[in-house]
Structure 1
Amino acid sequence: MTGSSTVLLLMDLQRNIVERYPSAAVLERAAAAADAARAAGIPVVHVRVAFREGAPEVAESNRRFAPAKARATGGEHAPEVQIADAVAPHPGEPVVVKRRVSAFAGSDLAVLLRALRAERLVLAGIATSGVVLSTYIEAADLDFDLVVLSDACADADPEVHRVLLEKVFPKQAAVLTAEEWAASAA
């Protein structure tokens, strides 16, 4: 699993999302996965959701993002939408800015993955029922080989988290702990 055919995606591990989840353990496991990836020569790509000042990209009909539109200040450069310090990008690691739930939606992720010759994506992030699920579906449809790091994901609803990890994700992905994946990436 070494080389550029595998890419680790750390998704939505940004300050304004991390603060809403009991995520210290998730951040530790995501950081450990990133360290293992770097040691194995596997690219680490960070993904975050952000909007321009005033969130002009958000339609009033968008139930997920419209309520936050009024609070959107500072735009995509605001401190609260930056990656959490515990998993901060290392120099040279790309940060993809997306405009919707999936890491692919409104971003240049597909272009970046093509340039990296990615075949396998390793997914970690918050929330399991949000960015992880949406990205998993789109990546599976794009024929990527997928791995989901079960303990480097979090969700507000523990039952939804469990069902996704135990019943949904295994249909098209290997579901491993960060430690299991790190051992196989070495």
Structure 2
Amino acid sequence: MNTTPVVLALHYQNDVLHPDGRIRIGLGDQDPAREALIAAAGRLLAGARADGWPLIHVRIAFRPDYADLARNTPIFRRTEEIGAVRDGEWGAGFFDTLAPVESKREFVVKHTRISAFYGTQLEQLLQLLGARTLIVAGVATHSVVESTVRDAADRGFDVWVAADACAAADRNVHLASLASMGLIATVTEADRALEKFRGEACT
């Protein structure tokens, strides 16, 4: 049985994490919580690379004219209003310290809905990798992370959420989302997830 986890890194993009980004996550440039999030995400990605685990970086991006944006939800209407995550522009690119590297074990998936599974090749890619276990992290906790985690659980994956590598603009919303996901996933911290699966690989 393949026990090697696949890490899903969701929306670590300039418009989301950079101080000059259009969306942001409610964390100021000098906010310690922002630095803690970036540090935890960095450790998760570095640990996955050190152990040779597959990494799938998921970004959200729309055409510059937003012709591929679904306007049935307030969050996407707001995305268009503020001119965020337009494909080919800086904002839709990956945040520098959390960006993919050139490797046969790293992949990039682009999506245009809430869940990273909807309308993408993510599930086929996971099947190709023989994945059974996912470690999920990203921004925002209550939107792309929770939606993707729920989809993954329904598809039969064993899902772990690296809580300290996730964030939302409202801390209470972040915590409520983690509690909700605790019904269908193992909610832990990035370092503990790394230790757990690194330990399994050594047994």
TM-score by length of 1: 0.90
Equivalence map 1:33-52=2 (5 Å):
33-52=44-63
Number of aligned residues = 184
Q: Percent identity?
A: 34
Letter in 1 for 2:148: T
Say whether residues 1:16 and 2:12 are aligned partners. Answer: no
Letter in 1 for 2:7: L
How far did 1:34 drift?
A: 1.0
Say whether residues 1:88 and 2:99 are aligned partners. Answer: yes
Q: Return closer, same or farther for 1:74/1:104 CA change in 2, 3 Å cut-off.
A: closer
Matches of 2:108 and 2:39, distance apart in 1: 19
How far did 1:185 drift?
A: 2.8
TM-score by length of 2: 0.83
Out of 65, 88, 91, the residue aligned to residue 54 of structure 1 is: 65
Matches of 2:85 and 2:116, distance apart in 1: 21
Equivalence map 1:28-177=2 (5 Å):
28-72=39-83, 75-92=86-103, 93-165=106-178, 167-177=179-189
Matches of 1:43 and 1:97, distance apart in 2: 17
How far did 1:24 drift?
A: 2.2
How far did 1:38 drift?
A: 1.4
Q: Return closer, same or farther for 1:75/1:164 CA change in 2, 3 Å cut-off.
A: closer
Greater Cα shift, 12-21 or 147-156: 12-21
Matches of 2:162 and 2:47, distance apart in 1: 13
The DSSP-based 3-state class of the residue aligned with 1:94 is strand
Matches of 1:74 and 1:124, distance apart in 2: 19
User: 8 Å contact 1:4–1:43 — kept in the other structure?
Assistant: no
Q: Return closer, same or farther for 1:7/1:73 CA change in 2, 3 Å cut-off.
A: closer
Greater Cα shift, 67-76 or 84-93: 67-76
Q: Return closer, same or farther for 1:60/1:182 CA change in 2, 3 Å cut-off.
A: closer
Say whether residues 1:183 and 2:182 are aligned partners. Answer: no
Structure 2 unaligned residues grouped into runs of 5+: 19-23, 28-33, 199-203
Matches of 1:184 and 1:36, distance apart in 2: 12
How far did 1:33 drift?
A: 0.7
2:21 maps to which residue?
none
CA-based RMSD of the aligned residues comes to 2.0
Greater Cα shift, 51-60 or 108-117: 51-60
Matches of 2:124 and 2:67, distance apart in 1: 24
Matches of 1:74 and 1:38, distance apart in 2: 27
User: 8 Å contact 2:153–2:159 — kept in the other structure?
Assistant: yes
